[in-house]
């Protein structure tokens, strides 16, 4: 879980920052001494300017403190330094707008809105860190995704903003927005297994067998082809303690069953020999369990297109096998053709 206790170094840095402005009230220290040598009119204007400056600084420090309050969970000053520089620039912009005659309310509103955006962004950062630290991740996550998220959690990045104003994290030479960082995380979803267990129990114990009904129920509880992240988790984390990789590894009928389906697919039939050879079969199983396999040419949607129906078929077969055990006499009154077709 993310550390949410205050970071001493950041608190100290915040205190220094609050005192490190160029336009300090001290610059007006000589005003009182000058009262005897300047006219009342000039003195009045000077005091008004000082009061205005004090009010701006007070409002600014209040907003700045509110932003910095969210930094308790950060371990380094990377985010703090980046935010401080942004706030310093906004302070100067706000000061200039406040001193226009009349004050430039459009700019003031814009600055306040950007200040609120920075505060909200920090809050979101903290929540994302907590989520990444506390939520169980799926076995589907690959090494690259884990390395990027580890760097994010360790604050091993530099920060910038893109043309749209989004904060970007420069990690190992690549830039990621917060949304892209979050999208790298794949969470476990135990509901997949729980729901399939219900489908399994209901149909395996049923007196009648209907493969179309079983496949329809399986499709209704598993991620669709278009939900690639969900399908990755479903395949990798498995159902009833068996992953898709396990299903492929221990299914001795798989090669025979899919030979007719994929034997003419140039991605799998690569050696010119009839059907899927043993080497091609090994490669095919690796590709089916790896959405980033080179065979998919960087497009995980291609993996989902092939894998989704195979998953449905494997899961339906597992229910069929149990149904046969529970109903050994299901086909005893059928002719040979009917018995052979019953479990297809």
Give 110-160 pLDDT, tens digit per residue. 888 888 778 877 888 888 887 888 778 888 988 888 888 888 888 889 999
Report the pLDDT averaged over residues 231-257: 82
For 103-111, what is the mean pLDDT?
Answer: 84
pTM, whole model, 2 decimals?
0.69
pLDDT of residue 139: 86
Q: What is the pLDDT of residue 223?
A: 94
In this structure, of 67-76, 164-173, 180-189, 306-315, the range with the lowest mean pLDDT score is 67-76
DSSP one-letter string for 23-78:
S-GGGGTTTGGGTTTS-HHHHHHHHHHHHHHHHHHHHHHHHHHHHHGGGGG-SSSH
Distance (Å, whole) CA 220 – CA 217: 5
Q: Are 118 and 83 in contact (CB under 8 A)?
A: yes
pLDDT value at 171 more than 60: yes
Q: What share of the chain has pLDDT > 70, as a percent?
A: 74
Tell me which of 58-67, 134-143, 186-195, 333-342 is least confident: 58-67
Q: With bands split at pLDDT 50, 70 and 90, how would you rate the model's confidence at 268?
A: low
Question: Would you place residue 263 in the very low, low, confident or very high pLDDT band (cuts 50, 70, 90)?
Answer: low
Q: What is the pLDDT of residue 16?
A: 32
Cα–Cα distance for residue pair 339/273, rounded to 1 Å = 34
Query: Which CA distances in Å does 254 have to 62, 248, 293, 311, 314?
Result: 67, 7, 20, 12, 9
Angle, in degrees to the nearest 10, between helices 228-237 and 300-326: 40
Least confident residue range of 16-25, 80-89, 225-234, 301-310? 16-25
Tokens for 295, please give them. Answer: 């065979």
Is the pLDDT at 7 greater than 60? The verdict is: no
Tokens 């009349």 sit at which residue?
A: 102
């Amino acid at each position: 879980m993310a550390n949410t206790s205050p970071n001493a170094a950041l608190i100290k840095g915040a205190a220094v920052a609050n005192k490190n402005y160029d336009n300090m009230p001290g610059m007006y220290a000589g005003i009182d001494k000058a009262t005897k040598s300047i006219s009342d009119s000039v003195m009045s204007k000077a005091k008004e300017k000082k009061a205005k400056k004090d009010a701006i600084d007070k409002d600014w420090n209040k907003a700045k403190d509110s932003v910095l309050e969210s930094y308790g969970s950060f371990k380094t000053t990377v985010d703090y330094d980046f935010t401080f520089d942004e706030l310093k620039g906004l302070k100067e912009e706000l000061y200039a707008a406040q001193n226009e005659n009349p004050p430039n309310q459009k700019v003031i509103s814009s600055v306040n809105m950007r200040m609120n955006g920075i505060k909200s962004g920090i809050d979101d950062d903290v929540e994302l860190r907590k989520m990444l630290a506390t939520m169980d991740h799926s076995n589907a996550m690959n090494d690259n995704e884990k390395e990027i998220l580890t760097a994010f959690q360790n604050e091993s990045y530099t920060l910038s903003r893109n043309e749209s104003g989004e904060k970007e994290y420069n990690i190992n030479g690549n830039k990621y927005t917060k949304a892209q960082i979050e999208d790298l995380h794949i969470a476990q979803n135990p509901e997949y297994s729980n729901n399939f267990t219900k489908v399994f129990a209901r149909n395996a114990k049923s007196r009648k067998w209907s493969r179309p009904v079983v496949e329809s129920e399986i499709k209704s509880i598993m991620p669709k082809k278009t939900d690639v992240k969900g399908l990755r988790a479903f395949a990798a984390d498995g159902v009833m303690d068996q992953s898709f990789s396990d299903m492929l590894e221990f299914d001795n009928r798989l090669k025979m069953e899919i030979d007719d389906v994929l034997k003419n697919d140039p991605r799998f039939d690569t050696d010119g020999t009839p059907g899927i050879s043993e080497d091609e079969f090994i490669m095919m199983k690796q590709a089916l369990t790896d959405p980033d396999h080179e065979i998919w040419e960087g497009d995980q949607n291609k993996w989902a297109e092939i894998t989704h129906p195979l998953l449905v078929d494997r899961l339906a077969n597992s229910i069929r096998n149990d149904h046969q055990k529970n109903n050994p006499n299901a086909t005893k009154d059928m002719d040979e053709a009917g018995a052979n077709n019953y479990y297809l």
